[in-house]
Structure 1
Amino acid sequence: MNELSSRISEWIRERVKTAGAKGVVLGMSGGLDSSVTAVLCKNAFPDATLGLILPCFSSKEDVEHAKMVAKQFGIETKEIELSSAFKTLFGGLEEREYDVDLKREGKEEMDIAVANLKPRLRMICLYYFANKLNYLVVGTGNKSELSIGYFTKYGDGAADILPLGDLLKTEERNLAEELDIPKEIIEKMPGAGLWKGQTDESEIGMSYDVLDKSILALESGAFSGCDPELVARVKRMVEASRHKRELIPVFKKV
């Protein structure tokens, strides 16, 4: 275990202890973020880490990757198929049957609204087991995604702690290699599985390498070697998503 991973796992232990909790629960999607987070949690709580595998019209490969990581690192898991619950909820909201191809729904706003039901259903499952076991919910988002609001509010953005929240995606990849995360997961195209063929970078509109470089430029004020238009786009995303990172505004009577 290297210094950074040791520090993160120790931080997880401290946060759980401070909260008076007994362990941690997280969603395991088979992607890089959740795989790295799961291993860090396992190192922090060898006997009190629960990984939930929550397929919802998910690819078989993603489920297999989640199970592969769990087996390699000895992580306890529970698999709950959410497709049926999703279809029932969608039917109640829209009064029609769900079409698995969200892009046929028409309006882009409808696509996102429907797609976001998936992470919000998963959030319900995570907090159910957190309450039941007196565990904390561990979020898997990294700094790249958090900075631009690339997460579902009260979905995958709902968590008690965020161990990767100060690591850019490029930094996370380096950590994944040091933790011996399977190569096929590290090299897999990142995607949230919100609809068939969906990828993170296609939604964001740029690669993570470019995004990370733009975030660092905005933080440091050093823009040499950066595309001004892309940096400006990232800045707009940061500002537009500020409400997703801040506490709920409260009206003050005085």
Structure 2
Amino acid sequence: MQLKEYIDYLVQWLQQEVKKANQKGVIVGISGGIDSAVVAAIAKKAFPNDYLTVWMPCNSSDLDEKCKLELIEKFDLKNVSVDLSKTFNVLSDSLNDSGIKQSKIALANSKARLRMTTLYSMAQTHNYLVLGTDNADEWHIGYFTKFGDGGVDLLPIVHLLKREVREAAKILGVPQSIINRAPTASLWEDQTDESEIGFSYDLIDDYISGKSVDKAVKDRVDYLHKISEHKRIGAPIPKNIR
């Protein structure tokens, strides 16, 4: 299936899934990144009158803000803003006041979980489903926060490689500044996905699409996939006592 045709399929798929859930529309958090931009554009195509995008800054960068504004303007998106910076700072202080100093990554993941809570409050208010923005690479290696950006109802772009997300963005008309931006979860200042993962999305694309890659890349991707399995499945349960 060609990518343009697949985007049309995703629009219909979202409509069907929302109808099955007896809901009215969809909601998606936007970050200024390419994945959420693509999902937001598809969401509006699927539900022109029943969608909402939510900008949830949490000590976010000026570049996040700039790209978010360009996205909203380009697609004339319905958007609300909920600044979570103060909420996060209070939570962070309370956690550290417990006497257990929180790790950098644990606090960063708390930002994603605050955003999840915000989206679900908005979604329940509107009778909407929450759309995730994880692509195939992120899903495969577990590069998402459990019960954070991984806590969603539907994952429309989960089968798209990162290079396919970039191509989908071009087809949909996402601003070039967002397409060209270095992928980042904005977990902390100057953080990028690829510096944290250890290699490029292009290499992950190649490996999970069956192309030949260096053994070091294969081993690392396999390792990340294995240890993140718990993120992709529901909580395991023991055998029944009866």
Q: CA deviation at 1:234?
A: 0.5
Pick from 217, 224, 228 the counterpart of residue 241 of structure 1.
Answer: 228
* Structure 2 alignment gaps of length 5 or more: none
Q: CA deviation at 1:3?
A: 1.3
Pick from 80, 83, 91 the counterpart of residue 81 of structure 1.
Answer: 83
Pick from 165, 169, 172 the counterpart of residue 162 of structure 2.
Answer: 169
Map of 2:190 onto structure 1: 197
Map of 1:187 onto structure 2: 180
- Tell me, in whole angstroms, the C-alpha distance in 2 between the residues paired with 1:23 and 1:160: 12
- Tell me, in whole angstroms, the C-alpha distance in 2 between the residues paired with 1:197 and 1:62: 11
Please give the root-mean-square deviation of Cα atoms over the aligned residues, in Å: 1.5
Q: Deviations over 1:191-249 (max 9, x none)?
A: 011000100000111000011112223xxxxx54x101111111111111111001111
Q: TM-score, normalised by structure 1?
A: 0.90
Contact 2:74 2:175 in 1 (8 A): no
Which has the larger displacement, 67-76 or 131-140? 67-76
Name the amino acid aligned to 1:90.
S
Q: CA deviation at 1:65?
A: 1.3
Task: Write out the 4+ residue segments of structure 1 that deviate beyond 2 Å after TM superposition.
Answer: none
Q: Deviations over 1:1-45 (max 9, x none)?
A: 931211111111111111000011110001000000000000000
Q: TM-score, normalised by structure 2?
A: 0.94
Name the amino acid aligned to 2:143.
Y
Name the amino acid aligned to 1:130.
A
- Are positions 1:114 and 2:101 aligned together? no
Pick from 133, 136, 140 the counterpart of residue 140 of structure 1.
Answer: 133
- Tell me, in whole angstroms, the C-alpha distance in 2 between the residues paired with 1:66 and 1:7: 26
Residue 2 of structure 1 aligns to a residue whose secondary structure is helix
Q: Percent identity?
A: 43
Residue 121 of structure 2 aligns to a residue whose secondary structure is helix
Q: Equivalences for 1:30-179 in 2 at 5 Å?
A: 30-95=32-97, 110-179=103-172
Name the amino acid aligned to 2:34.
L
- Tell me, in whole angstroms, the C-alpha distance in 1 between the residues paired with 2:124 and 2:194: 34
Map of 2:203 onto structure 1: 210
Map of 1:100 onto structure 2: none
Residue 116 of structure 1 aligns to a residue whose secondary structure is helix
Aligned length: 237
